Chains A and B, each alone.
Chain A
Amino acid sequence: QKEVEQNSGPLSVPEGAIASLNCTYSDRGSQSFFWYRQYSGKSPELIMSIYSNGDKEDGRFTAQLNKASQYVSLLIRDSQPSDSATYLCAVNRGNTGNQFYFGTGTSLTVIP
C-alpha cells in the first residue's frame, strides 16, 4: 500500500468552476499535510499546509483534513486556466524531518 494515494486524473473543469482534488494516506500517525502545485517542467511549489482537522482557506484555495478518514482534499474555487498543473499531496509522518511522502499527483486542466 502506498503511503499517499491520489487519483492521477486528468481532471478537467471549465473556467470558473470548483476543482476538487483528493488524497488519502496510510499512516494514522501522520501529522502534517501539504499541497504542492507543479507546472510542467517546473519544480513543486507549496500552496497549502494543514495540520488539524477541518478546513483551511487561503484565497481561492481551501484545504480540508479528516484524520479519522485519513483523507485530505484541496478545493480550488473560480478555477482559472493558470491553475492547470499537476497537484501533489504530501504528508509528513510523525513530525520528523525525514518522513515526507508524496503522492504521484493529479493533473488538472481548466478549460477556458
Chain B
Amino acid sequence: DAGITQSPRHKVTETGTPVTLRCHQTENHRYMYWYRQDPGHGLRLIHYSYGVKDTDKGEVSDGYSVSRSKTEDFLLTLESATSSQTSVYFCATYRGGGLYEQYFGPGTRLTVT
C-alpha cells in the first residue's frame, strides 16, 4: 500500500462546471497516474506523471488536464465537466526502477448532472 489518498471521495457537479480531483501519496513514488473506470471499459489511463512537472497524456485524455507541482500531489482537472465524464476515478502510483507494480488509491465517484 503506497499510502494514497484521494479527495473528494464523492462529488456531484453540474455540466459545464470545473472540477479538480486531488491525489496525495506519502511514499515518494516517482510515477503517478489517473484512471477512470466505467462498466464495459475497465480501467483507462487519462494522464500520468513521471516526475514533478513532467506529465503526459494517456488513452482518454480529452477534456482533462493534470498538474504535479510536488512529488506527493497529482491533480486532475475537468475544465468543463460533461455527463460523459461521470465515472469512478482512481489514482495510482508506481515507485519506478522496474517491477512496474502499481498501487491504487480509494477512488473518487464523480457524477455530472
Contacts and interface: CB of A to CB of B under 8 A. Distances in A.
Interface residues of A, number: 23
A43 B107 contact: yes
Contacts, number: 58
Interface string B21-36: 0000000001101010
Contacts of B42: 4, 88, 102-105
B40 A98 contact: no
Contacts of B103: 46
A7 B105 CA distance: 26
B43 A97 contact: no
Contacts of A88: 42-43
B16 interface: no
Contacts of B56: 98
Contact of B90 (A44, A90, A97): A44
5 contacts: A43-B106, A97-B94, A97-B96, A98-B48, A100-B102
Interface of A: 4, 31-32, 34, 36, 42-46, 49, 51, 88, 90, 92, 95, 97-98, 100, 102-105
